[in-house]
Structure 1
Amino acid sequence: MIAYGDFHVHTPYCPHGSNDQWEHYILNAIKLGLSEISFTEHAPLPMSFHDPVPNQDSAMAWSDLDMYLKKGEQLKLQYKDDIKINIGFEVDYIDGYQVDIQSFLDQYGSQIDDSILSVHMLRTKDNNYVCLDYSATEFGKIIRQFQSIEKVYQHYYQTIISSIEADLGVYKPQRIGHLTLIEKFIGQYPISFSNQVLDETLDKIKEKKYSLDLNTAGLYKPDCLSIYPKLEVAHKAKAMGIRLLPGSDSHESTTIGRGFDQISELIKL
């Protein structure tokens, strides 16, 4: 049996996504025969945090938050006979902002059905922040800032482990997003990175009984061409008994369920 749902989907409330109507995502999911869909919009960043990307468009606006939740509830009722709709967030774990993140989750956690905890932002030695997946050019700058690609990878996985261990309250997301996102530009910045850190990360996920976002978006990134986490890591996670939940990470309605044919063996229950 296959867990036939897409559990990582964005919406028109994502400022770096498309303007596709929310209903189009749902109708495409129904057309594909999906039984479930999770809308996990990028939660608003902490108010005191300065988004490091050029257009400051990494996450939804605070001013859209209530409308997002209200519209989501309306759609859940409207399509309840056709598909199970979950409304939630992809929450950014930002080192140094744990109190703000927990405050957000404490306030809104009771209103959501599903959530993902992801790392996109890395804290630098001078307490500034960089976005690791914005562009290949920016990733090159990050490598120079951290002095080596190995140090960037090491810092990324240390931050992932911190996110797993962090106390973010009772509504903390228990699914870790796109674990090997750091490899998005590996085609331009190749590296042979030790599996020891990845093994340690999987051990922490297993210990906490968390699940993993089995994210197909990387298959369509020209410098990656791999799922997140990459196949060898996904197979190891499955062998360890870590639950894998498929997600297309769609930012447009036409990519719902994209690449799921390539992970069918991994998502069989």
Structure 2
Amino acid sequence: MNKLLPPDYHMHTHNSGDSQAPMEEMILSSIKQGLSEICFTEHLDLNYPLLPDLPPDPFMLDVDAYYKEYSYYSDKYKNQITIKFGVEVGMQDDCVKENLEFVKEHDFDFVIASQHLLEKRDPFYSDFWEADTVDNIFKKYFDATLENIRSFTDFDVLGHLDYISRYVPEGDDTYSYKRYSEQIDAILEHLIRKDKGLDLNSKVLAYTDLNLLPNPCPEIIKRYKEMGGKIITFGSDAHTPDRVATHFDVMTDIVKDCGFTEYYTFKKRIPTAHKLL
């Protein structure tokens, strides 16, 4: 048991369309690992494209059912762990108004804004990369991210900034921070100016058979700090209990090497700094 790990502020249960995990099992896994706090961030991805292996509207969120379950377990385990109520909103330019209204209508502790799609296509699927060169796809992705965080303003951290780097075709080495630094710096500058933070996402570190970096990559984390960024949260992006807080020890070392001495938690959308141990 490691009581020095930071809270896991990015996790999903059966309330998200791509997870079957019982909420209680995610909580028990967090307690077993010694986490003092977690935040559930169930998916809301409006206008998600129709795909053959998914039902229609797979990332609609039944907030009432989610909150009822959250409230029950938050109270049940209140003497063992603090549990926060969050959401991960998928950004697209055709549902900005709906996303803003959704967040305003609900009493979330924490909101992640994430760019999961590009031009109604999902990078998880291999045919995503057939539409253009990898270089052009990355340029379009970062342009879309900046456009969306300028439009969808009601969030706390940007989720896994270079998310699509997880899914590049095997062997492709196009992506690097240096290659897209101008676009990425524009995103970071906007986040800092608007007092928004970064979700430091460790999900891919669990794939030990691949030589992958967390999202965002360490160069981006370091650059965010150099530019004056302060607000960071740790997220495993866990969809199963065994992935809760995955490689947070590694992430903590990365973050310290990038110059950070604090991480943040949220309550009713208000950030609080804590010393990294």
TM-score normalised per structure 1: 0.84
**Shift of residue 238 of structure 1?**
2.7
Where does residue 148 of structure 1 map in the other structure?
A: 133
**Unmatched runs of 5 consecutive residues or more in structure 1:** 124-128
Where does residue 176 of structure 1 map in the other structure?
A: 158
1:212 to 198, 203, 210: 198
After superposing on structure 2, the runs of 4+ consecutive aligned residues of structure 1 that deviate more than 4 Å are 221-224
For residues 176 and 54 of structure 1, the distance between their equivalents in structure 2, rounded to whole angstroms, comes to 29
Give CA-to-partner distance per residue, 1:70-112, whole Å, 9 cap, x none: 111111111111111011210000122111212222222xx21
Where does residue 142 of structure 2 map in the other structure?
A: 157
Give CA-to-partner distance per residue, 1:46-73, whole Å, 9 cap, x none: 3xx24243333675444x3311111111
Where does residue 151 of structure 2 map in the other structure?
A: 166
RMSD between aligned residues = 2.2
Paired residues for 1:19-168 under 5 Å = 19-43=20-44, 45-46=45-46, 49-56=47-54, 59-62=58-61, 64-108=62-106, 111-123=107-119, 129-132=120-123, 134-135=124-125, 137=126, 141-145=127-131, 147-168=132-153
1:264 to 217, 240, 252: 252
In the superposition, relative to structure 1, how do residues 149 and 51 fare at CA in structure 2: closer, same or farther (>3 Å)? same
Match status 1:191 vs 2:179: no
Paired residues for 1:246-257 under 5 Å = 246-257=234-245
For residues 159 and 65 of structure 1, the distance between their equivalents in structure 2, rounded to whole angstroms, comes to 27
In the superposition, relative to structure 1, how do residues 158 and 3 fare at CA in structure 2: closer, same or farther (>3 Å)? farther
For residues 244 and 2 of structure 1, the distance between their equivalents in structure 2, rounded to whole angstroms, comes to 17
For residues 42 and 3 of structure 1, the distance between their equivalents in structure 2, rounded to whole angstroms, comes to 24
**Shift of residue 42 of structure 1?**
0.3
For residues 186 and 149 of structure 1, the distance between their equivalents in structure 2, rounded to whole angstroms, comes to 8
For residues 37 and 20 of structure 1, the distance between their equivalents in structure 2, rounded to whole angstroms, comes to 15
In the superposition, relative to structure 1, how do residues 186 and 209 fare at CA in structure 2: closer, same or farther (>3 Å)? same
Secondary structure (helix, strand or coil) at the match of 2:86 reads: strand
Secondary structure (helix, strand or coil) at the match of 1:7 reads: coil
In the superposition, relative to structure 1, how do residues 144 and 187 fare at CA in structure 2: closer, same or farther (>3 Å)? closer
Give CA-to-partner distance per residue, 1:25-45, whole Å, 9 cap, x none: 1111112111110100102x3
In the superposition, relative to structure 1, how do residues 101 and 27 fare at CA in structure 2: closer, same or farther (>3 Å)? same
Where does residue 16 of structure 1 map in the other structure?
A: 18
Give CA-to-partner distance per residue, 1:108-156, whole Å, 9 cap, x none: 2xx2111100001112xxxxx1112x23x2xxx33332x3212211111
Where does residue 275 of structure 2 map in the other structure?
A: none
2:213 to 223, 226, 233: 226
For residues 243 and 200 of structure 2, the distance between their equivalents in structure 1, rounded to whole angstroms, comes to 15
Q: Is the 8 A contact 2:197 2:229 kept in 1?
A: no
For residues 155 and 2 of structure 1, the distance between their equivalents in structure 2, rounded to whole angstroms, comes to 39
Paired-residue identity, %: 25
For residues 165 and 65 of structure 1, the distance between their equivalents in structure 2, rounded to whole angstroms, comes to 25
In the superposition, relative to structure 1, how do residues 100 and 76 fare at CA in structure 2: closer, same or farther (>3 Å)? same
